């Protein structure tokens, strides 16, 4: 019996010696693998800093207690690894140096294995070359003996540039307004305009007339647009007499000022022409404004793209009002108005 045991011992020694000669090591028991482990990068672009979100699921039989820890080891190709940028699971403390991040369970603490645990490491600089790289993660007891571990892979690759072009667009139209349209500033529309004419016809003293045009804008300009209008000159007849623009000092009570401001020695008080609009951005205080020479006046605006609908957004009505006294010089009066629509892309 003794010889038989001795013979078996000899055979075992020969097997171990043979494996050492074939493989260069003696077989030892490997630690168990984690149930699952993944490392999600905020970006895989080479050479830039990224956040690693590492989620592990320990086997249910291997929870961690005080002094035991999780260790994450980055391949040397990753740089700027620092425990100062690590966020460990609740109840653990970040540590480690070099390429290693550790999360150690505090004394008397416990880290459950029945739920996943997350380690987040920010500001890690990715390798500068495309390819797959290793990130190891494992759990260890307080004596630094590995409990279970897994090797993860992440792939570093150039970003993909996606481009597209959208043409800038602008559509501006001047439309007709008729007496059936609603009043502007409480004054009914007196007649029918066209996109190119505002025919007041024969006007009577002490009567306020209101004509209008509908403006429509469609544009994809990011910062919107502004529409201005300017006159070529005051409305004049063949003899050079004019219907003056509403004076600024009269804007609070016009059109009553047409009669109360009349001064027979001052022809600029004989009658007035004023502008109004239903765009709430341009109600001009009491609702009316007079041209200032040939300076453009803003009558419509919006601060973003417009689709040709919505009062003050894609459409508005601009009203032109005239009222004269009984001393306004006779004749046919006219001038020219020019609209300018300026988008800002």
Closest CA to 88 of 108, 103, 109: 103
Kindly state whether residues 238 and 319 are assigned to the same domain: yes
Are 121 and 101 in contact by the 8 Å Cβ rule? The answer is: yes
Long-range contacts from 250-254, C-beta under 8 angstroms, 24+ separation: 251/284, 251/285, 251/286, 251/288, 251/289, 251/290, 252/285, 252/286, 253/286, 254/286, 254/288, 254/323
Please check whether residue 2 lies inside any domain of the structure: no
Domain CATH code at residue 51: 2.60.40.690
The tokens for 146 are 């590995």
Q: What is the mean pLDDT of each successive set of 10 residues along the chain, which is 345 residues long?
A: 41 36 36 91 96 97 97 98 98 97 97 96 97 97 96 94 93 97 90 97 94 97 96 96 79 66 90 88 72 88 95 94 95 97 96
With a CB cutoff of 8 Å and minimum separation 6, the contacts of 258 are: 206, 271, 272, 323, 324, 325
d(CA 4, CA 342): 105
For residue 177, count other CB atoms closer than 10 A to its CB.
Answer: 22
Percent of the chain with pLDDT over 70: 87
Report DSSP letters for 115-158, one per residue.
S-EEEEEEEEEPPSS-EEEEEEEEEE-TT--EEEEEEEEEEE--
What confidence score (pLDDT) does residue 185 get? 82
Task: Indicate the SS3 state at residue 93.
Answer: strand
Kindly state whether residues 195 and 318 are assigned to the same domain: yes
Burial class, 66, CB count within 10 angstroms (exposed 0-12 / middle 13-18 / buried 19+): middle
Rg (the chain; Cα; Å): 43
Are 41 and 50 in contact by the 8 Å Cβ rule? The answer is: yes
Are 142 and 167 in contact by the 8 Å Cβ rule? The answer is: no
Report DSSP letters for 297-345, one per residue.
EEEEEESS-EES-TBTTTEEEEEEEEEE-TTSPPS--B--EEEEEEE--
Kindly state whether residues 219 and 337 are assigned to the same domain: yes
DSSP β-ladder status, 225-231 and 235-236: unpaired
What confidence score (pLDDT) does residue 115 get? 94
Are 88 and 103 in contact by the 8 Å Cβ rule? The answer is: yes
Kindly state whether residues 125 and 216 are assigned to the same domain: no
Kindly state whether residues 148 and 276 are assigned to the same domain: no
Kindly state whether residues 312 and 191 are assigned to the same domain: yes
What confidence score (pLDDT) does residue 50 get? 97
d(CA 297, CA 299): 6
Kindly state whether residues 150 and 176 are assigned to the same domain: no
Burial class, 160, CB count within 10 angstroms (exposed 0-12 / middle 13-18 / buried 19+): exposed
With a CB cutoff of 8 Å and minimum separation 6, the contacts of 183 are: 189, 210
Kindly state whether residues 110 and 186 are assigned to the same domain: no
**What are 9-27's pLDDT values in tens digits?**
333 333 333 333 333 333 3
Kindly state whether residues 133 and 175 are assigned to the same domain: no
Place of tokens 């004019």: 242
The number of distinct structural domains making up the chain is 2
Percent of the chain that is helix, strand, coil (3-state, to 5): 10, 40, 50
Q: How many CA atoms lie within 13 A of 242 on its CB side?
A: 13
Are 101 and 86 in contact by the 8 Å Cβ rule? The answer is: yes
What confidence score (pLDDT) does residue 190 get? 95
What confidence score (pLDDT) does residue 186 get? 84
pTM above 0.85, yes or no: no
Kindly state whether residues 135 and 231 are assigned to the same domain: no
What confidence score (pLDDT) does residue 156 get? 96
Kindly state whether residues 125 and 206 are assigned to the same domain: no
What confidence score (pLDDT) does residue 15 get? 37
**What are 197-226's pLDDT values in tens digits?**
999 999 999 999 999 999 999 999 999 999
Please check whether residue 15 lies inside any domain of the structure: no
Place of tokens 């020694």: 13
* 94: containing domain: 30-156
Kindly state whether residues 209 and 338 are assigned to the same domain: yes
């Amino acid at each position: 019996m003794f010889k038989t045991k001795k013979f078996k011992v000899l055979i075992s020694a020969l097997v171990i010696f043979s494996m050492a000669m074939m493989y260069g090591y003696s077989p030892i028991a490997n630690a168990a693998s984690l149930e699952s482990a993944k490392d999600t990068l905020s970006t895989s672009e080479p050479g830039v800093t990224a956040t690693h979100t590492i989620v592990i699921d320990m086997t249910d039989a291997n929870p961690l207690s005080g002094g035991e820890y999780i260790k994450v080891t980055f391949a040397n190709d990753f740089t700027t690894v620092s425990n100062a940028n690590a966020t460990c699971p609740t109840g653990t403390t970040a540590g480690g140096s070099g390429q290693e991040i550790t999360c150690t369970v505090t004394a008397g603490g416990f880290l459950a294995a029945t739920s996943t645990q997350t380690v987040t490491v920010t500001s890690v600089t990715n390798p500068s070359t495309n390819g797959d790289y290793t990130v190891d993660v494992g759990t260890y007891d307080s004596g630094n003996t590995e409990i279970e571990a897994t090797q993860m892979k992440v792939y570093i690759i150039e970003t993909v540039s996606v481009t597209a072009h959208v043409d800038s667009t602008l559509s501006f139209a001047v439309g007709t307004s008729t007496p059936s349209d609603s009043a502007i500033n409480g004054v009914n529309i007196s007649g029918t305009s066209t996109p190119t004419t505002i025919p007041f016809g024969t006007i009577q003293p002490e009567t306020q007339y209101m004509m209008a045009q509908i403006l429509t804008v469609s544009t994809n300009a990011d910062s919107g647009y502004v529409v201005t209008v300017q006159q070529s000159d005051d409305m004049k007849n063949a003899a050079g007499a004019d219907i003056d623009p509403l004076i600024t000092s009269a804007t609070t009570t016009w059109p009553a000022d047409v009669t109360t401001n009349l001064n027979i020695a001052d022809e600029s008080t004989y009658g007035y022409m004023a502008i109004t609009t239903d765009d709430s951005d341009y109600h001009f205080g009491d609702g009316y404004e007079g041209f200032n020479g040939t300076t453009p006046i803003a009558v419509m605006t919006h601060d973003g793209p417009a689709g040709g609908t919505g009062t003050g957004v894609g459409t508005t009505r601009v009203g032109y009002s005239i009222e004269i006294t009984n001393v306004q010089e006779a004749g046919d009066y006219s001038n020219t108005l020019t609209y300018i629509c300026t988008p800002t892309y």
